[in-house]
Structure 1
């Protein structure tokens, strides 16, 4: 039987492209979104290997039900793509506590919910791959992205350790850290901005919003290329633990590593 993929956040953006690339490669794809109808709108109903399901990843019980239903129907989940998420973009003090907690509820705890639902089936078979869509913002944080980066830093720390726990049991992990992709990630469907006005930040926030507006739709990264790369890597027995995708992401990650090396060396000199 063809590989069974479960993809979250599959109705648009990178999730849609990953689901499409997997279908093009002959996989069976259980494509989830907060509305299964949105998945059908994105793909149509002509592909009999596409199976839309409704899943809000913050609902742990529904995640378990979708995973169990998938295994009951197809016998396995070979690849989980934990993709669903969104961004709180703006300066930290402009966000309410509720907004910050919602960012973590979706990006971290929601992603954990889906992993908790799927991993027991993978452990039982001693086989499977978890693809976690993080971001270069999980490695590097900048002004205007502190809250979003905090959630992705948390995802990175969790999966880095969890992957080591799973490896002896035959379950593999791939952390994907893209730079800026040409998706709708920066528009109002995926991004939210702080609601508290603070005059001290007004000018800087206006400049940041202008940057986001200008970047939306003009990002350098091609989501189709990344999706194809993920599908290719998923078919390899020894896929890398991380994929830093895009020249911008590689430049930012490299600069961060260089800066850390300098700080570590400086710290040693001071001891």
Structure 2
């Protein structure tokens, strides 16, 4: 039996992953800002520990990790799922809005990971699953700051996959496309308070219009997505990236082709920037 520690576990992917792990016979620490809001099926299980956790509060993190270890003896899998979205053109988004987003999506993830790593290092094994985004692989208009936060998550995960290998700890970033969760609801998604009319009719504001149409009609099934995350995480070796959903795969393929074209166009001149005496 493995012990999973999942942040943002009261809804969305966090809740579905928790249920998948529970169905697989594992123990689950479901951490959420309001654990009283957890569904009854999780509250009733002896293999579930519900904990109050705001990942932007260091004291909450320390207390939650200690409680998890006291209850289950360790943490085998950390799922960094807590996060939110932010819509708007970069020019419209304030510094305060950006910092609040990064405090949750990036620094919260860093601090939870930092708190769990000593437990995993002592055990000599562990897996860390970071829930990123399709927008963390390919920057998209209207979500530039959200994309930036998820690009940071991907970079952290890639670095950790090498940095932690000597300790038997693996790291993977999951990059979902659009799934039919409540992520597009106001509880998980903010819109910049300022709106600049000049952006009306441009890609940045087209994204705002798409949100209204797409909410709760998205392509991806979160139960199936969570089941795949659980299946992949249970393998002996984690991939560095897990593209989740048809649209995520398609957009990654588009970007890969674009990168290949950019490399080919400037390869010769870029290579020629080396010192003349370089080997």
> What range describes the TM-score normalised by the shorter chain of this pair?
over 0.9
Deviation at 1:73, TM superposition (A): 2.0
The answer on whether the counterparts of 1:89 and 1:148 sit within 8 Å (CA) in structure 2 is yes
Q: Is the 8 A contact 2:158 2:172 kept in 1?
A: no
Aligned residues: 269
Unaligned runs of at least 5 residues, structure 2: 271-279
Q: Is the 8 A contact 1:5 1:27 kept in 2?
A: yes
Question: Is contact 1:18-1:228 (8 Å) kept?
Answer: yes
2:71 equivalent to 1:83: no
Q: What is aligned with 1:34?
A: 33
- Cα distance in structure 2, aligned partners of 1:3 and 1:209: 41
Aligned twin of 2:147: 149
Matches within 5 A, 1:31-110: 31-39=30-38, 41=39, 43=41, 45-110=43-108
The answer to whether structure 1 residue 222 and structure 2 residue 221 are counterparts is yes
Quote how far apart the aligned CAs of 1:173 are: 1.2
Contact 2:88 2:205 in 1 (8 A): no
Cα distance, 1:42 vs structure 2? 6.1
2:157 is paired with a residue of what secondary structure?
A: helix
| 1:195 shift after superposition | 1.0
CA contact under 8 A between 2:85 and 2:189: conserved in structure 1?
yes
Q: Does 1:244 align with 2:243?
A: yes
The alpha-carbon distance between structure 1 residues 79 and 44, as it changes in their structure 2 partners (threshold 3 A), is: closer
- Find out whether 1:14 has 2:13 as its counterpart: yes
Structure 1 CA distance for aligned equivalents of residues 243 and 164 of structure 2: 22
- Aligned equivalents of 1:42 and 1:172: distance in 2? 32
Instruction: Give the secondary-structure state (helix, strand or coil) at the position aligned to 1:207.
Output: helix
Q: CA shift at 1:270, angstroms? A: 4.6
The separation in 2 between residues aligned to 1:260 and 1:234, in whole angstroms, is 29
- Asked whether the equivalents of residues 4 and 78 of structure 1 are also in contact (C-alpha less than 8 Å), the reply is yes
